[in-house]
Chains A and B, each alone.
Chain A
Amino acid sequence: MSAATPEGWVAGARSTTATSGVAENAFFEYLLRLADDRLVLGHRLSEWCGHGPILEEDIALANIALDLIGQASMLLKLAGEVEGKGRTEDTLAYFRDTVEFRNVQLVEMPNGDFAATIVRQFLFDAWDVLVLEKLLGAKHESLAGIAAKAHKEAKYHLRHSAEWVRMLGDGTAESHARAQRALDELWPYSTELFLTDDTDRAAVAAGNGVDVEPLRGPWRQTMDRVFAEATLTVPKDGFTPRGGRTGRHTEHLGRMLADMQSLARAHPGASW
């Protein structure tokens, strides 16, 4: 992330999406939610490129970033088609501002140390595999196709993050302490993964969304199993930050977008 990025840069740009009531284009909004989780997390992981703790992990995190950004690209392309206002995947990725992003706050959390990146990834991956599995049955043919592809990739992501949660938690005193600290800090943000509102319910009713509430049980089973093997303690539920799905984000997302979008905004329409 560039230290020279002006802090007020995102706030100064003008909004292009009016959030015009949930019912009006619920499917478009729902697709943005699916896409933005991936775009933001993918970009976060790409920040590790060249900085991984070992070569294999540098490569692995870049690979996973690539999968997630590829999935986001397909979903944003579809969202643009559904919206029907001529916006492409690039317009949606690079010319929306912080308040227009629909990702959960978990994925915008800064990378921190390797343990924080891995714990954040594990909380997300276990949820993602379950969501995509349900989305395979979406009525919308393109969405079901994207889900089928992403689901295969997500299973590899989960194997990777679960493996590292175990290694770090059940590793040295230092790695254990770092993994536990990461879990304590990030656990509250996992709550938002299982919240639903009218946009989700409209997508579910149309056969193109996933009811996440019943997935909480299976997700928790994966958490308990892997954290037990990792000798990590799941924190008590308490503070439950939320709001990402309707555009309320932490300060971290604006800074990340300022970096991610700077090239496209400095040279609009550029190609290579």
Chain B
Amino acid sequence: MVSVAESRREEILRWLDEVMDPEVPVLSIRELGVLRDVEVGDGDVVVVMTPTYSGCPAMHAMETDVVETLARHGVPNVRVKTVYAPAWTTDWISDEAKAKLEAYGIAAPSRVEADDLVPLRRRTPTPCPYCKSVNTTMRSEFGSTACKAILFCNSCSQPFELFKPI
């Protein structure tokens, strides 16, 4: 039998599916892996979150969104607890979520290259999310947000971003 707290927890997790990454609005914070857990106490609810990168400026927006979303569903006492371990990894992003990223025009993360000092031009090419060509060039591993790299597709002449593996 499912306990009251457990069914409450699942209900809250479902509501939190409405909270999207403000920078990548096709992924919820749960799909992204930033939402780690929900702890239902007697008088309050603790939402456990972890940042993607140490200095991710979107964390504050996501925390505010969590509190506001739950308030809309009538949950008053919500606290956000930030944890750093285990460290966030793109491995937590499911295949289903990766497909959403690709459809949105952001290449999905693959594996980290074994040799850390391989020059950009000698990396395994990332397929273009628009035309699927592998004739692409990595321009920089630092993009518009901490979690993305900048690439260029030489086939369809489209700049695009990669959700970089970490």
How far apart are B151's CB and chain A's nearest CB, in angstroms? Answer: 11
Chain B residues positioned under 8 Å from A63 (CB to CB): 142-143, 146
Chain B interface: which of A14-22, A65-73, A81-89? Answer: A65-73
Chain B residues positioned under 8 Å from A159 (CB to CB): 116-118, 141
How far apart are A69's CB and chain B's nearest CB, in angstroms? Answer: 5
Interface footprint category on B: 20 to 34
Chain A residues positioned under 8 Å from B57 (CB to CB): 66
A150 CA to B54 CA, complexed, in Å: 7
Taking Cβ atoms with an 8 Å cutoff, the residues of A that contact B are 56-57, 59-60, 63-71, 73-74, 129, 141-142, 144-146, 148-153, 155-156, 158-160, 162-163, 166, 222, 225-226
Chain B residues positioned under 8 Å from A148 (CB to CB): 84-87
Which residues B120-166 have CB closer than 8 A to chain A? 120, 139-144, 146, 150, 164, 166
> Contact: A66 with B85, CB < 8 Å?
no
User: Which 6 pairs between the two chains have the least Cβ-Cβ distance?
Assistant: A70-B55, A70-B54, A145-B85, A66-B55, A60-B142, A63-B142
How far apart are A231's CB and chain B's nearest CB, in angstroms? Answer: 15
> Contact: B117 with A156, CB < 8 Å?
no
| From B85, B117, B118, contact of A141 by CB (8 A) | B85
> Contact: B116 with A70, CB < 8 Å?
no
A144 nearest in chain B by CB position: B85
> Contact: A163 with B119, CB < 8 Å?
yes
> Contact: A153 with B84, CB < 8 Å?
no
| From B116, B119, B141, contact of A60 by CB (8 A) | B141
How far apart are A212's CB and chain B's nearest CB, in angstroms? Answer: 20
A141 nearest in chain B by CB position: B85
> Contact: B117 with A162, CB < 8 Å?
yes
How far apart are B139's CB and chain A's nearest CB, in angstroms? Answer: 6
For residue B33, CB closer than 8 A to chain A, the reply is: no
How far apart are B55's CB and chain A's nearest CB, in angstroms? Answer: 3
B88 nearest in chain A by CB position: A149
A65 nearest in chain B by CB position: B55
Chain A residues positioned under 8 Å from B139 (CB to CB): 56
Chain A residues positioned under 8 Å from B88 (CB to CB): 149
Produce 1/0 per residue, B73-115, CB < 8 A to A: 0000000000111111100000000000000000000001000
> Contact: A149 with B142, CB < 8 Å?
no
A64 nearest in chain B by CB position: B142
Produce 1/0 per residue, B50-75, CB < 8 A to A: 01011111000000000000000000
How far apart are B114's CB and chain A's nearest CB, in angstroms? Answer: 12
How far apart are A111's CB and chain B's nearest CB, in angstroms? Answer: 17
How far apart are B142's CB and chain A's nearest CB, in angstroms? Answer: 4
A69 CA to B53 CA, complexed, in Å: 11
Chain B residues positioned under 8 Å from A166 (CB to CB): 119
15 contacts between A and B (CB under 8 A): A56-B142, A63-B142, A66-B53, A67-B55, A70-B53, A74-B54, A74-B84, A141-B85, A146-B54, A146-B84, A149-B84, A149-B85, A158-B117, A162-B117, A163-B117
Chain B residues positioned under 8 Å from A59 (CB to CB): 140, 142-144, 150
> Contact: A67 with B116, CB < 8 Å?
no
A226 CA to B117 CA, complexed, in Å: 9
> Contact: B142 with A71, CB < 8 Å?
no
Best-surrounded residue of A66, A141, A155, A222 (most CB of chain B within 10 A): A66
Instruction: Add 6 more A-B contacts to A60-B140, A225-B117 (CB < 8 A).
Output: A59-B143, A63-B146, A129-B116, A148-B87, A158-B116, A158-B117
Best-surrounded residue of A63, A65, A74 (most CB of chain B within 10 A): A63
